[in-house]
Amino acid sequence: MAGDVFVYTLFSLLAATTTASRSWGVSSYHPKPCIFQGHVTTRGDWYGFLANITIGRSGRVLFDFRFPANHCCPTVLFYTDDQVHGLAKDMTCYSKKKKAGALKDHPLHLSPRFVYSGCFKEKKFGSVDMYVCKGGISLDPNPPVESMETRYYIAVSHCADDKSGLNLRYELNVEGHVAKCRNGHHPTTLNPPLRHPSSVDRLHSVKGGQKDEKNICVIKGVLNTTASWYGWLANFTVDRNGGFRFSFSYPYDMQTEKILLYTDAEARKLKSEMQCHEKTYVLPPGRDGQRQIDLRSDADYNGCNTVDSPQGSLVVCEKERAFERPESWRMAVSNCHLNKGLWLNYKLELFGFRGNPCCACRTQFYASLFILLRLLTSFFG
């Protein structure tokens, strides 16, 4: 194996004491589970496959996943034969992830935010904290198929912008399998290559202990408003692989604030008379972590945690977002669940952007002007 990837996969078939032949005579059904165990460590952001299994009309996987807290939070993906054949080695992590969709309850996000994953943090004194995820998932094809057997390929991804890779221990107990348990290989299971620095990475290169500030646009300010939705914190356009680092903080008792990214077309659909929820519904449905940044105190996947300060407890979130294709974004913030308004201290470092490098001057001016007008209104009102 290459030095950057160590994959140890142990699979064993517990022999059935009795074997019942399928009436259609294609294979044998094994009443005892097929067990797959292993440890995947790689600098790549996608790995396939943890297991290749063939299931009859129904089946189930009991899982036990464990990974360091600083590698939160991977996603387990299920592919069918057709979906696997659509994969290519030069695809990005997000593209491979979109190809998956073999199950109704898909994908399996290994995060405490998703209750069905059974994840919790296991505190370790003197060592690294670990996430432990235990549960089960039904193998129900999506959409339903008439075939007596369905083959699944189980992969794992971590399409994080910090490129922290994968470090995952796993045990899979597969029920309802037919034929033999084989950990077959597919061309996409080649060891993920080391990711060489791109032009965007060079924008963040360190020179003499300092960041190359020439190619970074800084936008920062403090938002304080009684509204439950506010736009815009920033308007910007990024090239392919461009994006931003973010640092957000706000009072703990004002959870949960959320960052929203609108395209120009979506922004034109917004109306002043819309309620907070209606404005969020303009965004595409589903949990899109790229377009909606959840600033919950336990959202480790967005770099969030609780910090004590002289002013009280704060939620602090620091992470990065990058985008696969050029796009213009309008950034808003919302809190549709409380009537306390919004308070947010924010700092954005744009990279791979288009336009005036002094975008910080413009945005900070408008942010300061907004706060000044609000103070004047309160004073004279």
Structure tokens at 19: 């074997």
Cβ-based neighbour number of residue 250 at 10 Å = 23
pLDDT of residue 180: 66
Kind and range of the H or E run holding 296 = none
DSSP codes of every residue in 304-338: EEEEEETTEEEEEEEEEEE-SS-EEEEEEEE-TT-
Summarised one tens digit per residue, pLDDT across range 200-231 is 222 222 222 223 445 788 999 999 989 999 99
Banded model confidence at residue 288, pLDDT cuts 50, 70, 90: low
pLDDT of residue 280: 92
Summarised one tens digit per residue, pLDDT across range 100-114 is 875 655 688 898 887
The CB-side HSE value for 343 (13 A sphere, CA atoms) comes to 11
All structural domains of the chain with their residue ranges: 5-189, 202-380
3-class secondary structure, 3: coil
pLDDT of residue 186: 33
- What integer is the mean pLDDT of 319-337? 87
